């Protein structure tokens, strides 16, 4: 069988790429080793933060604004509610990196925000007990996405537009072949004019180590607040990020989106436990939970409650923590999307559009220069 484009991996990025390609009338085959919206990779756990005042770099802001438009379009087309706006709060010292960079990025792109200080923070958000010197940068348009539902919606719309999607089929090998590509899987061999590789934490093996990627184990915990979820309902508690007073480490979390009994999800952004999708320790240990609770209860004392459940996930980091999106440096007719460094989900709608542009037109008008795959060439 021959296709115009094969998409390898139908997680966050691949499902979006399959949708945007099929919507342009391209003959697409999508190949996924597991079932739709599975929990073995990087895109599960019920919620992902989306925000506009992008402390990582203001370069991401035009993309996140386009991502919002595309999420709203996908909601309309698929008839699903995917993006919930709760507002967002970035907590920390006014002089800390997180707060300073958040405000600078917002100012650069005229993203609305307000700054609360001291007692004002607890007045607005009663679950929060700010530390001395804390400010809260509050942005109104932040919120959360439902990652599994987003992937399902992209897959549904891709199929509706004519994409052929294969699940529980593993790509074993791929190669550039003449003017196209060939992919061998657990079930057959397929050829296409172009290949998009969106393999998430499997990118290291799929791309034979071409990029300096580092996969790490992350733990998300759902904590039952002492005294119940009243102060954590979305009307009174936004998505949040907080910087440790000593600087550096960032914790984050969500309101009680599953109601009483569902807990409040919180986690630490980043960990140094390197793994692969094959070697990751998926078991949850008491020490994992203790690390999270100890950190989050500093500013949210009610989160010292019982941990109802917890789950591992993987980040795939690049050295500069910017994504890798563009042509494969050595293989013509192959576009890669990997290294989303623990902050990619919110962009997956627009990444799908970029990947479709690159696969079909060989270029995109969206600003993706900082994701250039060639930037690692010539490294040690
Ligand atoms: C705990 C945690 C919290 C996060 N929080 C946020 C957040 O709040 N906001 C945010 O924006 N981002 C967040 N992220 C990051 C974001 O979720 C990821 O950047 C994003 O989901 C990565 O998507 P992906 O498509 O690259 O990977 P995945 O969704 O994992 O997709 C890769 C797919 O490729 C398939 N695949 C791989 N190899 C093969 C093969 N050989 N054959 C067939 N199929 C294959 C896999 O099975 C998988 O389905 C978080 C991540 C984690 C882990």
Taking only the tens place, the pLDDT of each residue in 18-73 is 999 999 999 999 999 999 999 999 999 999 999 999 999 999 999 999 999 999 99
Report the pLDDT value the prediction gives residue 2, as an integer from 0 to 100.
Answer: 83
Instruction: Identify the bridge partners of residue 222 per DSSP, sorted by sequence position.
Output: 265, 309
* 33 contacts 168 by C-beta, under 8 angstroms: yes
Measure the N-to-C terminal CA separation of the chain; round to a whole number of Å.
41
Ligand 1, atom 15: closest residue by C-alpha: 342
Tell me, yes or no, whether 154 and 245 share the same domain: no
Tell me, yes or no, whether 132 and 278 share the same domain: yes
3-state SS, one letter per residue, for 316-352: EECCCCCCEEEECCCCCCEEEEECCCCCCHHHHHHHH
What is the average pLDDT across 1-21? 96
Say if ligand 1 is within 6 A of residue 195 CB.
Answer: no
- CA pair distance 55, 66, nearest whole angstrom: 17
Domain, as residue range, for 121: 88-140+214-317
Tell me, yes or no, whether 129 and 233 share the same domain: yes
Compute how many other C-beta atoms are within 10 angstroms of the C-beta atom of residue 346. Answer: 28
What is the 200 CA–ligand 1 centroid distance (Å)?
Answer: 5
- Relative to beta strand 250-253, strand 239-243 is antiparallel
Say if ligand 1 is within 6 A of residue 43 CB.
Answer: yes
Handedness of CA 317, 219, 259, 301 (dihedral sign): negative
Tell me, yes or no, whether 222 and 135 share the same domain: yes
- What's the chain's average pLDDT? 96
Say if ligand 1 is within 6 A of residue 166 CB.
Answer: no
- CA pair distance 143, 257, nearest whole angstrom: 11
199 inside domain: yes
Region of 17 please: left (phi>0), alpha (psi -120 to 50) or beta. Answer: alpha
- CA pair distance 66, 172, nearest whole angstrom: 34
- CA pair distance 324, 343, nearest whole angstrom: 12
Whole-model pTM: value is 0.98
What is the average pLDDT across 206-229? 95
What is the average pLDDT across 119-124? 96
Helix, strand, coil content of the chain in percent (nearest 5) = 30, 30, 40
What is the 43 CA–ligand 1 centroid distance (Å)?
Answer: 4
Residue 166 pLDDT > 90, yes or no? yes
- CA pair distance 339, 150, nearest whole angstrom: 20
Tell me, yes or no, whether 171 and 313 share the same domain: no
Helix intervals (H) in the chain: 12-23, 61-78, 97-108, 119-124, 147-160, 203-206, 286-296, 348-361
- CA pair distance 356, 4, nearest whole angstrom: 11
Of 276, 293, 317, which closes a domain? 317
51 inside domain: no
Instruction: Identify the bridge partners of residue 44 per DSSP, sorted by sequence position.
Output: none
301 inside domain: yes
Tell me, yes or no, whether 223 and 313 share the same domain: yes
Ligand 1, atom 27: closest residue by C-alpha: 200
Look at 192-196, 267-271, 295-299 and tell me which has the smallest mean pLDDT: 267-271
Using alpha carbons, list the distances in angstroms from residue 242 to 14, 102, 142, 249. Answer: 31, 12, 15, 8
- Report how many domains make up the chain: 2
Tell me, yes or no, whether 234 and 359 share the same domain: no
Report the pLDDT value the prediction gives residue 354, as an integer from 0 to 100.
Answer: 98
* 78 contacts 100 by C-beta, under 8 angstroms: no
- CA pair distance 317, 234, nearest whole angstrom: 30
Say if ligand 1 is within 6 A of residue 32 CB.
Answer: yes
Say if ligand 1 is within 6 A of residue 199 CB.
Answer: yes
Report the pLDDT value the prediction gives residue 259, as an integer from 0 to 100.
Answer: 87
Of 285, 317, 349, which closes a domain? 317
The tally of CA atoms less than 13 A away on the side-chain side of residue 103 is 15
Tell me, yes or no, whether 296 and 225 share the same domain: yes
DSSP state of 274: B
Tell me, yes or no, whether 104 and 180 share the same domain: no
76 inside domain: no
- How sure is the predictor about 177, in pLDDT bands with cuts at 50, 70 and 90? confident
Say if ligand 1 is within 6 A of residue 33 CB.
Answer: yes
Tokens of 185: 């899987």
Tell me, yes or no, whether 176 and 264 share the same domain: no
- How sure is the predictor about 89, in pLDDT bands with cuts at 50, 70 and 90? very high
Report the pLDDT value the prediction gives residue 379, as an integer from 0 to 100.
Answer: 65
Tell me, yes or no, whether 198 and 130 share the same domain: no
Q: Tell me the chain's radius of gyration from C-alpha atoms.
A: 21
Tell me, yes or no, whether 227 and 267 share the same domain: yes
Ligand 1, atom 35: closest residue by C-alpha: 9
The count of residues in the chain is 380
Report the pLDDT value the prediction gives residue 66, as an integer from 0 to 100.
Answer: 98
280 inside domain: yes
Strands (E), 157-213: 164-166, 171-177, 180-185, 189-197
Look up the CATH number of the domain holding residue 341: 3.50.50.60
Report the pLDDT value the prediction gives residue 21, as an integer from 0 to 100.
Answer: 98
Helix 147-160 × helix 61-78 angle, to 10°: 60
* 303 contacts 254 by C-beta, under 8 angstroms: no
């Amino acid at each position: 069988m021959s296709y115009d484009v094969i998409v390898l991996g139908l997680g966050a990025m691949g499902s979006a790429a399959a949708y945007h390609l099929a919507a342009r009338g391209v003959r697409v085959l999508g190949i996924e080793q597991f079932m739709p919206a599975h929990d073995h990779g990087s895109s599960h756990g019920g919620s992902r933060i989306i925000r506009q005042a992008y402390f990582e770099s203001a370069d991401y802001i035009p993309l996140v604004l386009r991502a919002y438009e595309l999420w709203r379009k996908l909601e309309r087309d698929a008839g699903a509610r995917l993006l919930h706006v709760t507002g967002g709060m970035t907590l920390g010292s006014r002089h800390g990196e997180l707060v300073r960079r958040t405000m600078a990025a917002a100012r650069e792109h005229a993203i609305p925000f307000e700054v609360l200080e001291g007692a004002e923070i607890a007045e607005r958000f009663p679950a929060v007990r700010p530390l001395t010197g804390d400010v809260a940068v509050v942005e109104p348009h932040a919120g959360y996405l439902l990652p599994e539902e987003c992937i399902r919606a992209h897959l549904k719309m891709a199929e509706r537009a004519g994409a052929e999607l294969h699940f529980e089929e593993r790509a074993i090998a791929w190669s550039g072949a003449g003017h196209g590509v060939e992919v061998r899987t657990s079930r057959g061999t397929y050829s296409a004019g172009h290949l998009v590789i969106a393999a998430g934490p499997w990118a290291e093996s799929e791309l034979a180590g071409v990029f300096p990627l580092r996969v790490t184990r992350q733990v998300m915990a759902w904590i039952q607040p002492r005294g119940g979820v009243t102060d954590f309902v979305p009307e009174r508690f936004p998505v949040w990020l907080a910087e440790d007073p000593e600087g550096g480490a960032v914790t984050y979390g969500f309101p009680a989106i599953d109601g009483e009994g569902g807990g409040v999800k919180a986690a630490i952004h980043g960990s140094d436990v390197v793994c692969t999708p094959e070697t990751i320790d998926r078991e949850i240990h008491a020490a994992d939970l203790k690390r999270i609770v100890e950190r989050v209860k500093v500013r949210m004392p009610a989160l010292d409650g019982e941990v109802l459940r917890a789950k591992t996930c993987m980040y795939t980091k690049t050295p500069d923590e910017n994504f890798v999106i563009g042509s494969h440096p050595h293989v013509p007719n192959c576009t890669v999307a990997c290294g989303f460094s623990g902050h990619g989900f919110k962009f997956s709608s627009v990444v799908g559009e970029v990947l479709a542009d690159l696969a079909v037109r060989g270029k995109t008008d969206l600003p993706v220069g900082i994701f250039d795959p060639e930037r690692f060439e010539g490294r040690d």
